[in-house]
Structure 1
């Protein structure tokens, strides 16, 4: 069985800058990728392959002659990862029939153009290039997709209860539940894990009814774990230094480090090779990112291989306690996200020593921001400078600097990643 998860232009824009150089499936769901979460939730369905239909420069299914075959599934990538069978009417059981489709209404309107395609099992094969054109290049991707599927006479059923990721803050909203699922994913691998006696033998203290799951290869000493609000997971070869105060839920990825005296208020999620320090609340950090020094950061989603200098951080509440507005690339305007939100940050961006981000910041990828003057709320990708005095960060220089930072993580950019960055830079029209 093959499942093709399709992105739309509006979904990618709504999640920007997190998805500027990657698909939504590469983002973290509780500590594992969204793609891994889909795979884990469908492991009982036999052999299942997953592919993503997205923009050409990111696609893993490129090629004009490629098709989705009869009996395969087309699923909206903005759906929360679930067992595919649970999406459809229970009376269909595990035998989801050919031509079964699931939709949901947008804005409570009756017009079919206002209905969103969630999932469909194809009766006949479809060219991937045609699907990509419909969902990426058309102004109304759902209307285009309905038109493309019309000859198959799909039997549409309206979904009653489905959860989707519409905006970046949804990733934070679901983080606690996602951590629980990600821990189950790790437990299914079989460990080995430290038992409670071994954990406490290293001077650690545990309080609460949820579990503390620590990989046997991790180093954890003289920390306090409070699981009253959710479980805690410490990954392979991770380090939790002395004096850390941790309130779950937490997923600390492989080879990641909590420096001495770190204070975490969950849910907090990290990928692998992340370094955290200071005071952190309700945040997601993707692979290789450092926020290793004193300073506060809350209600934020940070991309991969970012760096926060000593004393840097950001506000997540306005001094007026008013509603926070964050720039939304799909609207090309600011959108209200509630009373608490810190920052969105794209991959490979660095914040200098002492630099503070304002409430509701949206900082693009490959930025280098420094100095004591607070930068604007919205900083587009490939900018360099201090405060509002920002200038173009040329791609050749940006790549050299990224490579310098990646050496700290014993990593480097591969050819495809450099091609993606060059493509994004060229789209801005700023190459000299």
Structure 2
């Protein structure tokens, strides 16, 4: 097959901030796997990325004289894969709404916006494709993607058995347990969807898991936890309390009581004890959410919509999040009261005393310590990404594609 590159659509990427500040669109997790991991397993290949220059060292692009560029917001389907395999050089696929899905070319491209300028023959592909176009697309698609990924990961494989005599399992045929996982006195109900338990996951006493849900490698579910359907966490998360229809990216913690609903939490985040999210308005109207692309609130069309928290953000004990709150990268949030529905990256403070700019060197120090706690090295590559995000959000360089709102 052609060299495979997942590109950041220049319209979709800003709509997925703050998560795309720190990763390409295709490195976002929805379901059990990231979008890139889905493509890698489906095509038995290692994709590379066409993304922003400051992310390119961590997510490099590999090119040859035969390159297949695929929109990184697309979750693969059998029909799309079959069509991509027949795509000719110089041919592109468009959705009926004009969205560029894929293009095969003998050229290397260093800016996704240039893809539409290449000489090409265009074809329309009108079969449905799960597409992550907005922040709320993640929670809307998560349940179906757990089911799809479960089938992909477990095909022709044998689950480890449940050996604990005090664990009760409903529909065990829909439960898959990887090696090293420990389950103690828990209830697993997979009657309405599968439950995936990754390598070395620990499900503690008294926990209730309702499928579809998934827990990535090394994740710990603390005792008496309530994991509602359409929830995925990990790898290496520590979670507890009550979580429903939510995604927690790698190395994040919500280890105590409190409710997290219809939300997405980035990597290296932590929610303090008794932190809670509102995901439903008192008048049952649809939730409006801050959009970086529109520099203001947009209507999600969803009645249920909670918290969207960028990487490296920390919330102190008892933090209360309003319905439809968007928090940027590397925010330190604490104190009582309801904070604003949008908190820019590198903010420090709370609802009562207000916010100031989080000192960059202090933020990097805290991120370094967080990595050490997981036996990881916070290297120059990671540091340079945070420094660039700080410049984008706080300094507002005129040449930045993300200079989308005024800094504090």
C-alpha separation in 2, matches of 1:228 and 1:384: 44
Stretches of structure 2 lacking an aligned partner (at least 5 in a row): 397-408
C-alpha separation in 2, matches of 1:302 and 1:399: 19
Q: Which one of the candidate residues 343, 357, 370 is aligned to 1:405?
A: 370
8 Å Cα contact 1:52/1:60 also seen in 2: no
Give the 5 Å matches for 1:372-387.
372-387=336-351
Task: Name 1:111's counterpart in structure 2.
Answer: none
How far residue 374 of structure 1 moved from its aligned partner, in angstroms, is 1.4
Q: Which one of the candidate residues 356, 381, 393 is aligned to 1:416?
A: 381
What CA deviation, in whole Å up to 9, does each residue of 1:347-372 have, x standing for no partner? 01001001111100000010000011
In the alignment, does 2:234 pair up with 1:271?
yes
Q: Which one of the candidate residues 95, 102, 110 is aligned to 1:104?
A: 95
TM-score (norm 2): 0.90
Q: Which one of the candidate residues 367, 391, 400 is aligned to 1:426?
A: 391
In the alignment, does 2:132 pair up with 1:165?
yes
8 Å Cα contact 1:38/1:82 also seen in 2: no
Task: Name 1:109's counterpart in structure 2.
Answer: none
Q: Which one of the candidate residues 77, 83, 86 is aligned to 1:88?
A: 83
Give the 5 Å matches for 1:141-180.
141=113, 145-146=115-116, 148-150=117-119, 153-180=120-147
C-alpha separation in 1, matches of 2:163 and 2:58: 49
In the alignment, does 2:54 pair up with 1:57?
yes
How far residue 232 of structure 1 moved from its aligned partner, in angstroms, is 0.6
Distance change >3 Å, CA 87–CA 216, structure 1 → 2: closer
How far residue 116 of structure 1 moved from its aligned partner, in angstroms, is 2.2
Task: Name 2:250's counterpart in structure 1.
Answer: 287
8 Å Cα contact 1:4/1:50 also seen in 2: yes
Give the 5 Å matches for 1:251-262.
251-262=214-225
Q: Which one of the candidate residues 183, 193, 201 is aligned to 2:150?
A: 183
In the alignment, does 2:189 pair up with 1:208?
no
Distance change >3 Å, CA 396–CA 38, structure 1 → 2: same
How far residue 167 of structure 1 moved from its aligned partner, in angstroms, is 0.8
Report the RMSD for the aligned CA atoms in angstroms: 2.3
Q: Which one of the candidate residues 301, 310, 329 is aligned to 2:292?
A: 329
In the alignment, does 2:36 pair up with 1:72?
no
Task: Name 1:194's counterpart in structure 2.
Answer: 160
8 Å Cα contact 1:27/1:34 also seen in 2: yes
Distance change >3 Å, CA 61–CA 271, structure 1 → 2: closer
SS in structure 2 of the partner of residue 421 of structure 1: helix
C-alpha separation in 2, matches of 1:430 and 1:103: 37
C-alpha separation in 2, matches of 1:57 and 1:162: 29
C-alpha separation in 2, matches of 1:82 and 1:424: 33
Q: Which one of the candidate residues 329, 332, 340 is aligned to 2:304?
A: 340
8 Å Cα contact 1:51/1:61 also seen in 2: no
Q: Which one of the candidate residues 94, 107, 120 is aligned to 1:126?
A: 107
8 Å Cα contact 2:35/2:72 also seen in 1: no
Distance change >3 Å, CA 99–CA 83, structure 1 → 2: farther
C-alpha separation in 2, matches of 1:167 and 1:210: 34
C-alpha separation in 1, matches of 2:156 and 2:369: 34
C-alpha separation in 1, matches of 2:142 and 2:393: 33
TM-score (norm 1): 0.85
How far residue 2 of structure 1 moved from its aligned partner, in angstroms, is 0.7
8 Å Cα contact 1:247/1:265 also seen in 2: yes
Larger Rg: 1
Distance change >3 Å, CA 401–CA 313, structure 1 → 2: same
Report the more deviating stretch, 422-431 or 391-400: 422-431
Task: Name 1:31's counterpart in structure 2.
Answer: 32
Distance change >3 Å, CA 429–CA 204, structure 1 → 2: closer
C-alpha separation in 2, matches of 1:237 and 1:423: 35
C-alpha separation in 2, matches of 1:276 and 1:392: 29
SS in structure 2 of the partner of residue 9 of structure 1: coil
What CA deviation, in whole Å up to 9, does each residue of 1:253-290 have, x standing for no partner? 11111111000111111121101111111000001111
Stretches of structure 1 lacking an aligned partner (at least 5 in a row): 107-114, 136-140
Report the more deviating stretch, 393-402 or 79-88: 79-88
C-alpha separation in 2, matches of 1:40 and 1:12: 23
Q: How many residues are treated as equivalent by the alignment?
A: 393
Report the more deviating stretch, 266-275 or 21-30: 21-30
8 Å Cα contact 1:29/1:182 also seen in 2: no
What CA deviation, in whole Å up to 9, does each residue of 1:70-103 have, x standing for no partner? 44212111111235854639xxxx5433333211
